[in-house]
Amino acid sequence: MAITYTWKVTKIQTADIGNKKTAVTRVEWDKIGEEDGLTGVFHGVTTLSTDEIDESFIPLTKVKEKDVLRWVQEKIDLPQSQHIDTQIKKMITDQKVVNKDTKLPWEK
């Protein structure tokens, strides 16, 4: 089965930038992967530059999670995206391995 991914904003920070009051400037987020009931979570932080805020400003009272996630995802390039997905896949794969205590074969 393929990994299903979801994104979630966990925290934002804001600042007054020029005439833009409470602009979102920093985002903490999770990308969650799930496969066969197993989950891997990558925690990330994205800082938005003043230029990005000028171009995509939405008053805080009208900001929706999908807006913030779009800003975050636009900043993640392909190598970063591949790294994130690789880490999530590793977390899920590691859960599939069941380690058990085993008697040492040379000890009776």
Domain membership flag for residue 91: yes
Q: pLDDT per residue over 15-55, tens digit each?
A: 998 888 899 999 999 999 999 999 999 999 999 987 777 77
Domain membership flag for residue 103: no
Its domain, for residue 58, covers 4-96
Domain membership flag for residue 107: no
Tally of domains in the chain: 1
- Of 106, 37, 26, nearest to 68 by C-alpha is 26
Q: What is the DSSP string of 20-37?
A: EEEEEEEEEEEEEEEETT
Domain membership flag for residue 16: yes
- pLDDT of 62: 94
Domain membership flag for residue 105: no
Domain membership flag for residue 106: no
Domain membership flag for residue 17: yes
- pLDDT of 52: 73
Q: pLDDT per residue over 59-68, tens digit each?
A: 899 999 999 9
Torsion of Cα atoms, 59 then 64 then 70 then 71, to 10°: 30
Domain membership flag for residue 102: no
Q: pLDDT per residue over 56-100, tens digit each?
A: 889 899 999 999 999 999 999 999 999 999 999 999 999 998 889
